Structure 1
């Protein structure tokens, strides 16, 4: 990956929140993203020429007003490419600082066999962009049902992104996420094996164990209660007999 990724970052400070606007470009990529408190709010999809809302589904997106004019975004990335060409042609290249990515893979929800889920590949701590993320299932390359987030700046100057793969997990399947970056000597791969809970077995098993232990406790308590009552009755009878003999 010999391409250079040039980035503008605008920081806006509010009373209790921090917003940022990131414009990035390379010879082959463009990015225009808005964020709040380190989280992605929306970005422009250059392939579809429209803004994409990236806030969670449970958030109140109605209260946010997103720009719909695409021209400023095109203009910003054009300026970015102009600066990139200027710096590339006139800057004396020194040893470039690079930071390798750290990768983790995990499911979005609790895994249940034959129930749709999403695998998340989180790539963080890398500099500079770009990174390349690929997926495989049972050692076969996967190209469908994949979503890739925008590059997100971190507080330490590095970047992170998420790649998501929709799956229907089955027992015995193996998925892997492979990351390529110029700071890596070889691709970085993380593997995830399907370890699912069959529908209904987990809760039923726990319920059965709990019920058994509860019944055992009731029976044990009743046994000791009856035994104590019997002992008390025997002691009372012996006391009465002793009194009669004394008289």
Structure 2
């Protein structure tokens, strides 16, 4: 009998090395379930690259400003081979221990906009889910109590190397309007009930016309003052 989706067998290798009097932690992780898998490399708790099974290649996830880094040819093929080994070991362990219980770590979540919210301006709503294990989630977006599937995207699953847990970003493209209510609901095996976070557009102030009006009036008065001063200066010169 194979493990269910909540069963995960992970192999984690941590290497500590010193360079220029700075201590860094380099880690490689291979994990699998009976239906999915993960292969990634990380540095100091941050992911450097992972195997993208759909794209069929190893994908670098370092930010653009980081030092360029590439893996040698054959890294992705090695990741595929590691997955086969992992699944074989998983099946063996499952049979030997008669499908043992899996450790659980409940997720935490937060919801926030990518940019400062302006009513009527397109934006991205982000739902960050972190600190969970095993790495299977079900996340649902709603707008005004109606499920939303359009404009939804998900980041690569990220490993919190030091904790042995996972994090993931869920994004929703939206155009805020007064009165709109958005929710992000997370379901996980370690939660007794679904966890929901809300974002209320009514709490976001609409852009104020006050500063613009004030600047416009000030500029107009300034120009009128310059014109008036110029008029009397010309008259004074004519009198002289």
**Into which bin does the TM-score normalised by the smaller protein fall?**
0.7 to 0.9
Q: Does 1:117 align with 2:123?
A: yes
Alignment partner, residue 16 of structure 2: 13
Contact 2:114–2:125, Cα closer than 8 Å, also in 1: yes
Alignment partner, residue 107 of structure 2: 101
How far apart are residue 79 of structure 1 and its match? 1.2
Q: Cα distance 1:30–1:100, how it changes in 2: closer, same or farther (>3 A)?
A: same
Contact 1:51–1:68, Cα closer than 8 Å, also in 2: no
Contact 1:149–1:163, Cα closer than 8 Å, also in 2: no
Higher relative strand content: 2
Question: Paired residue for 1:65, among 67, 70, 74?
Answer: 70
Give secondary structure in 1 for the equivalent of 2:90.
helix
Contact 2:139–2:187, Cα closer than 8 Å, also in 1: yes
TM-superposition CA deviations, 1:137-180 (whole Å, max 9, x none): 23232334412221312523333222222333333222211211
Kindly report the root-mean-square deviation, in angstroms, between the aligned alpha carbons of the 2 structures: 2.8
Question: Paired residue for 1:91, among 93, 97, 121?
Answer: 97
Q: Cα distance 1:113–1:42, how it changes in 2: closer, same or farther (>3 A)?
A: farther
Q: TM-score, normalised by structure 1?
A: 0.71
The unaligned stretches of length 5 or more in structure 2 are 219-240
Q: Does 1:56 align with 2:63?
A: yes
Q: Does 1:77 align with 2:83?
A: yes
Counterpart-to-counterpart distance in 2, 1:36 and 1:167: 34
Larger radius of gyration: 1
Give secondary structure in 1 for the equivalent of 2:12.
strand
How far apart are residue 88 of structure 1 and its match? 0.9
Contact 1:177–1:190, Cα closer than 8 Å, also in 2: yes
Alignment partner, residue 24 of structure 1: 31
Counterpart-to-counterpart distance in 1, 2:17 and 2:99: 37
Alignment partner, residue 227 of structure 2: none
Alignment partner, residue 244 of structure 1: none
How far apart are residue 203 of structure 1 and its match? 8.6
Aligned length: 206
Alignment partner, residue 42 of structure 1: 49
Contact 1:45–1:52, Cα closer than 8 Å, also in 2: yes
Q: TM-score, normalised by structure 2?
A: 0.73
How far apart are residue 92 of structure 1 and its match? 4.0
Higher relative helix content: 1
Q: Does 1:189 align with 2:192?
A: no
Alignment partner, residue 141 of structure 1: 147
Counterpart-to-counterpart distance in 1, 2:121 and 2:106: 35
Q: Cα distance 1:116–1:26, how it changes in 2: closer, same or farther (>3 A)?
A: same
TM-superposition CA deviations, 1:19-52 (whole Å, max 9, x none): 2222111122111122221122222221121233
Q: Cα distance 1:46–1:96, how it changes in 2: closer, same or farther (>3 A)?
A: closer
